[in-house]
Copies of this chain bind each other. A is one copy, B any other.
Amino acid sequence: MADRNDVLGAAQRVLNADPGASMTVVAEAAGVSRATLNRHFDSRETLLVELGTRSLDQWAQRLDAVDVEAVAASGDAARIRAALEDLVLGYVDDSDAFGFALTDHVILANAALEERTQALADREAVLFAAAQASGVLRADLPLRWFGHAIYGLLVAAREAVRIGDVARRDAGHLVLSSLLAGVVPS
């Protein structure tokens, strides 16, 4: 019997490939009946919100893994730069699994997820502020822009891989290099 986690994993894969997939298609992919799917998730929105929650859990884990508050507090440019690179490369890896959640409008419109997104963006902003203070990031750009720019390049990389313009193994480098150095020769 497929348990709740198996169903969620299958739903994530289906929705990544086709973000508009119906509950019927999700049930088929998970190898369960519509009745079983409905027992686990009473609506498509419930399922999407749970997948959004998982993607935010993963974001939180990435911030924990680089010890973002401690690195920011250190003021050490080399540590801050390394943490920033680790985070971005980690996000690119995650966007392969959670990609549809980046732009799904049900997930983006959910108030609880929006609040948690803001709290995670606040944690990240502490690192960006330390990066600006230590010369790792440009001081002339608004603090709140950095997180958005990273997000946008994740959406870009996911789409580029999806339609076959970029190899999955190149995505991390392309995002990081474009973000840090821009697309014009230095």
Contacts and interface: CB of A to CB of B under 8 A. Distances in A.
Interface of A: 18-20, 100, 103-106, 108-109, 135-139, 141-142, 144-146, 148-149, 151-157, 159-160, 165-166, 170, 174, 177-186
A30 to B, nearest CB: 20
Contact of A20 (B105, B141, B156, B157): B105
A165 B183 contact: no
Nearest to A152: B156
Given A145-B174, A166-B142, A166-B144, A18 B109 contact: yes
A153 B159 contact: no
Contacts of A138: 183-185
Given A141-B177, A152-B152, A155-B152, A146 B183 contact: yes
Given A138-B183, A185-B135, A19 B149 contact: no
Given A19-B109, A142-B166, A149-B174, 4 more contacts: A19-B108, A20-B105, A145-B174, A180-B184
B145 A151 contact: no
Given A180-B182, A180-B184, A103 B103 contact: yes
Given A105-B19, A181-B184, A152 B145 contact: no
Contact of A182 (B109, B159, B181): B181
A101 to B, nearest CB: 12
